[in-house]
């Protein structure tokens, strides 16, 4: 295991951009989950400190109620990341289960699952989410994550189904079948390890689209969050017109930069992983 980690890190180091993405990702996670323990969230309204420019006391300035922006940035990542991770877990679990089921069962089951995937793929997700937001209160992060996950399995499901179909014919699966090891064993012991590539990639890309939808819904005001997060910051900066004051532009730019950085590091890390999983790409 330790050896494997070493090889993994060495491979990662070879791709500079991917490594940078990996490091930034770690830093953002550290900032969002560890730093809040030490740095309290500034919630006190201070009328005389509204829209302060960056200073030693407030490195990123203050917001429309005179609260410290930096502390909001530090506390604002947790929800965004939790929703993304949960959506990724749910979406990937569904994709793997349905993909494996579809590939193995074939016939009618396969047809139903693939048609469902086709339909979900053609319907534009964001409008659908927005409409659903009108009916379901999306106030809890987990509820939102569930919804995002439920919508984001079709692409990966198709890839995994195709993999299952091709792996099914290969020797080691054939051998497992001859040994009568059962479908469950074949799927989880033989096929899944061979598809870690697809699974991890899909996980990362689901996270990415979850961040996109989540923040988008917040900016439109469709998700009545009470807690602080980067999306809410953008929403307030936007609706309270923070962008029009020279000193307060950081209130908008800081959360935008965090989201952009998070998304970018996810993609770069994913590309680096693709290179590690797929040795053929390593050459180039």
Which parts of this chain interact with other proteins (CB under 8 A)? 17, 115, 118-119, 121-128, 130-136, 208, 211-212, 215-216, 219-222, 234, 238, 243-244, 249, 252-253, 256, 259-260, 263-264, 266-268
Q: What is the DSSP letter of 218?
A: H
* Residue 53 beta carbon to other proteins: minimum distance, rounded to whole angstroms: 15
Closest CA to 281 of 20, 164, 272, 10: 272
Query: What are the residues facing 62 on neighbouring strands?
Result: 68
Closest to other proteins by CB, 132 or 181: 132
Closest to other proteins by CB, 181 or 256: 256
Closest to other proteins by CB, 80 or 191: 80
* Residue 121 beta carbon to other proteins: minimum distance, rounded to whole angstroms: 8
* Residue 256 beta carbon to other proteins: minimum distance, rounded to whole angstroms: 5
* Residue 118 beta carbon to other proteins: minimum distance, rounded to whole angstroms: 7
* Residue 103 beta carbon to other proteins: minimum distance, rounded to whole angstroms: 21
* Residue 84 beta carbon to other proteins: minimum distance, rounded to whole angstroms: 12
Closest to other proteins by CB, 193 or 284: 284
Closest to other proteins by CB, 158 or 191: 158
d(CA 185, CA 157): 19
Closest CA to 69 of 254, 266, 235: 254
Closest to other proteins by CB, 45 or 243: 243
Query: How far apart, in Å, are the Cα atoms of 161 and each of 95, 100, 195?
Result: 9, 6, 11
* Residue 125 beta carbon to other proteins: minimum distance, rounded to whole angstroms: 6
Closest to other proteins by CB, 23 or 45: 23
d(CA 191, CA 202): 16
What the block records as the tokens of 253 is: 């730019």
Backbone angles phi, psi at 93, to 5 degrees: -60, -45
What the block records as the tokens of 242 is: 């923070």
Half-sphere exposure in the Cβ direction for 199 (13 Å, CA): 18
d(CA 171, CA 229): 50
For 125, counting Cβ atoms within 10 Å of its Cβ (0-12 exposed, 13-18 middle, 19+ buried), the class is middle
């Amino acid at each position: 295991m330790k050896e494997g980690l070493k090889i993994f890190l060495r491979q990662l180091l070879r791709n500079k951009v991917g490594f940078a993405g990996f490091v930034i990702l770690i830093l953002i996670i550290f900032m969002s989950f560890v730093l809040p323990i030490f740095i309290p969230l500034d919630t006190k309204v201070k009328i005389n400190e509204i829209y302060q420019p960056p200073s030693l006391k407030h490195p990123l300035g203050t917001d429309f109620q005179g609260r410290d922006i930096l502390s909001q940035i530090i506390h604002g990542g947790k929800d965004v990341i939790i929703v993304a991770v949960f959506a990724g877990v749910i979406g990937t679990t569904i994709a793997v289960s349905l993909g494996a089921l579809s590939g193995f069962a074939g016939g009618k089951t396969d047809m139903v699952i693939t048609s469902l995937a086709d339909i979900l793929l053609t319907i534009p997700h964001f409008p659908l989410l927005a409409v659903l937001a009108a009916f379901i209160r999306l106030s809890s992060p987990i509820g939102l994550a569930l919804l995002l996950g439920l919508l984001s399995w079709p692409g990966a499901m198709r890839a995994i189904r195709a993999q299952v179909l091709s792996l099914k014919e290969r020797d080691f699966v054939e051998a497992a079948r001859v040994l009568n090891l059962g479908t469950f064993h074949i799927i989880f012991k033989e096929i899944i390890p061979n598809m870690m590539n697809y699974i991890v990639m899909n996980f990362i890309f689901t996270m990415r689209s979850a961040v996109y939808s989540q923040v988008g819904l917040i900016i439109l005001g469709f998700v009545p969050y009470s807690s602080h997060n980067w999306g809410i910051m953008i929403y307030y900066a936007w609706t309270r017109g923070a962008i029009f004051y020279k000193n307060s532009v950081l209130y908008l730019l800081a959360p935008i930069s965090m989201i952009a950085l998070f998304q970018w590091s996810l993609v770069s890390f994913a590309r680096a992983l693709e290179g590690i999983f797929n040795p053929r790409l390593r050459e180039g």
